[in-house]
Chains A and B, each alone.
Chain A
Amino acid sequence: MNFIKSIVAAGLVAASTSAFAADITGAGATFPFPVYSKWADAYKKETGNGLNYQSIGSGAGIKQIIAKTVTFGATDAPLKPEQLDKEGLAQWPMVMGAIVPVVNLEGVKPGEMVFDGPTLADIYLGKVKTWNDPAIAKLNPKLKLPSDAITVVRRSDGSGTTFNFTDYLSKVSADWKTKVGMGTAVEWPVGVGAKGNEGVAGNVGQTKNSIGYVEYAYAKQNKLTYAGLVNSAGKTVQPTMAAFQAAAANADWANAKGYYLILTNQPGETSWPITAATFILMHKEPTDKAASAEALKFFTWAFEKGDKMAEELDYIPMPPSVVKQIEKTWSADIKS
């Protein structure tokens, strides 16, 4: 009996102390989860303040912040300015990622293959069916391409990765835009759907003659054969940190209301065409002002000290010019 009592007592103490520390709560996108939790860990060590982030998906994150059950929401697909105004929300990009095409083709090494947007769209439309199709051959004159059918792999779950990938295809292919369009889940004309980035990476990794798209980190960590892309300036670029950051720096953040900007097909000769920011949502007039102020302290800290940690996890930090602008937004918009 005493044993049970002491357990209950210990539980109560634990519960009361954790409630006392007033952790910041956030919920949403799964894509930035690794970096947010790494930041939270380091932040707790430095300041003693905790952050509880639940990666429940962008859509659910938006719902949670609108319902005011969390201090901040996180989403991979930015909300439109009208919707932000309607809900009284502020929005800004926190960190970026890049999406890369990956292939599994015998004899082809990472970085050897090149696609351009229209060809990628045609493959995912099912119009380009085999690897030795003239459209692919023209871009890759040095590669020996087999006549095998292309196995198209894509996400089965609704995801920000799909949102940005289909946004890019819509921008570069009129056919894609009218037939499929963009969204977290779309009507895929061909291909098999695998669950999560890890599912697509795994499926491409073990299926011969396949193509897929994943977050850069997954391509790198799974040692997949990534491909280069032809960007909007007509130059072939490889997926590198420099190319990703060029895309963010060349983007027109200053004129994007509510930071509503999708980072695909951005200008610049060195820009990687499919990068994506992941966004934070907070109420402009929060009900719990203390928690809100605490969250902003955390984000400030993350912008100041979190870059290296982000890069270690293959995320791309926001360019300093954008960070300065975001910090101005905070003081102007969020009342605390």
Chain B
Amino acid sequence: MADMAVQTTGMEAAGPYDRARALGAFKAGDTAFYWTTRACAISVLLILGGIILSLIAGAWPAIQEFGFSFLFTARWAPANDPPILGALGPIYGTLVTSVIAMVIAIPIGLGIAIFLTELCPQWLRRPIGLAVELLAGIPSIIYGMWGFFVLGPFMANYMQPYMIRAFEGVPVLETIFAGPPSYLSLFNASLILAIMVLPFITAISVDVFKTVPPVLKEAAYGVGCTTWEVVRSVVIPYTRVGVIGGIMLALGRALGETMAVTFIIGNAFRITGSIFSPGTTISAAIASEFAESDGLHQSGLILLGLLLFILTFLVLTAARLMLMRLEKKAGN
């Protein structure tokens, strides 16, 4: 293409006929470029379709056997004859850990991002930024082991007994924070997840906060706004779409995280209501049992995988819809 461009300048002087030919060559090049990139984009859809099809094929025996009751059964008894498999426990664990993780990570992540872009002195910016990036670089197995050996015991021995006592006698909260304290629990898994997704929220928020035109902020400061008011009324509304995108990316990671969660969640297919009791997530269940499974048991695990796929898809769709409604509101 570069050669052609050089030639063209010469040709232009030569006359209208050559010029048309050169334009034709440009057009051909553009068409080729268009189709190449289009093929790349479509290949994503094909791969995705292939994954869905193979998941459905693998899950088919379980779908036939259990049907919709798979979604509402809380029992997981692969050794039973015939096996009784239900996804309610893992679905519950996946949602609970992800929600708690996001509840913890969103305010902290946004807080870090706001501090870094609006308030942080220059010399402190790099160390904090690096620390956040480092968090993202730690392999999940390391988080799992740290949770197993350090965070789990700490939580069970110091934090959980305190929280259980604090909420004793309060309706609802009493059940959510019920004992006994456990090294491996839904809550500990949520904490690990929160730390793991923090960099996603922070990094993306920092990037989009930087895109706010200084003129807007300066104008706001000029009419006497406080830093908090500038952040709330100028920075956040301006970057809302990007921030939510970061949060969704983090939520996607939280829903699918496997290794770290398997280590610290306790892997129990139960729904107790207490976040201090062991539970399991879809991905942890698959990772734990897949290697030694066969027949209907394995098919059920693949069906769990399909459900995770659908769950993630639904979450992303919901996020898109929410964004669209926000845009509309902003438009009015």
The reply to whether B183 and A193 contact each other, CB–CB distance below 8 Å, is no
- Say yes or no for B217: interface residue by CB 8 A criterion: no
- Say yes or no for A191: interface residue by CB 8 A criterion: yes
The reply to whether B278 and A185 contact each other, CB–CB distance below 8 Å, is no
> How many A-B residue contacts, CB cutoff 8 Å?
98
The interface residues of chain A lying within 8 Å CB-to-CB of B268 are 188, 191-193
- Say yes or no for A156: interface residue by CB 8 A criterion: yes
| Docked complex Cα distance between A229 and B128 (Å) | 56
- Say yes or no for A57: interface residue by CB 8 A criterion: yes
Given contacts A191-B268, A193-B288, contact A185 B78 (CB under 8 A): yes
| Docked complex Cα distance between A61 and B80 (Å) | 23
The reply to whether B269 and A57 contact each other, CB–CB distance below 8 Å, is no
- Say yes or no for B139: interface residue by CB 8 A criterion: no
Given contacts A193-B267, A195-B263, contact A158 B293 (CB under 8 A): yes
The reply to whether A157 and B291 contact each other, CB–CB distance below 8 Å, is yes
Total count of chain B residues near the partner, CB < 8 A: 33
The reply to whether B293 and A185 contact each other, CB–CB distance below 8 Å, is yes
- Say yes or no for A119: interface residue by CB 8 A criterion: no
The reply to whether A181 and B81 contact each other, CB–CB distance below 8 Å, is yes
The reply to whether B79 and A187 contact each other, CB–CB distance below 8 Å, is yes
The interface residues of chain B lying within 8 Å CB-to-CB of A188 are 268-269
What are the interface flags for A185-206 relative to B under an 8 Å C-beta threshold, 1 for contact and 0 otherwise?
1111001111100010011001
The reply to whether B291 and A59 contact each other, CB–CB distance below 8 Å, is yes
Q: Give the residue of B75, B149, B153, B280 whose beta carbon is less than 8 angstroms from that of A187.
A: B75
The reply to whether A206 and B149 contact each other, CB–CB distance below 8 Å, is yes
- Say yes or no for B30: interface residue by CB 8 A criterion: no
- Say yes or no for A287: interface residue by CB 8 A criterion: no
- Say yes or no for B168: interface residue by CB 8 A criterion: no
- Say yes or no for A58: interface residue by CB 8 A criterion: yes
The interface residues of chain A lying within 8 Å CB-to-CB of B75 are 187
The interface residues of chain B lying within 8 Å CB-to-CB of A59 are 291-294
The reply to whether B183 and A203 contact each other, CB–CB distance below 8 Å, is yes
| Docked complex Cα distance between A60 and B289 (Å) | 12
The reply to whether A193 and B266 contact each other, CB–CB distance below 8 Å, is yes
- Contact residues of A with B, CB < 8 Å? 56-60, 62-63, 149, 151, 156-160, 166, 180-188, 191-195, 199, 202-203, 206-207
6 contacts between A and B (CB under 8 A): A158-B289, A158-B291, A180-B79, A182-B79, A188-B269, A195-B263
New contact pairs (9) apart from A158-B290, A193-B268, A195-B262, CB-CB < 8 Å: A157-B288, A157-B289, A157-B291, A158-B291, A184-B292, A185-B293, A187-B77, A193-B266, A202-B148
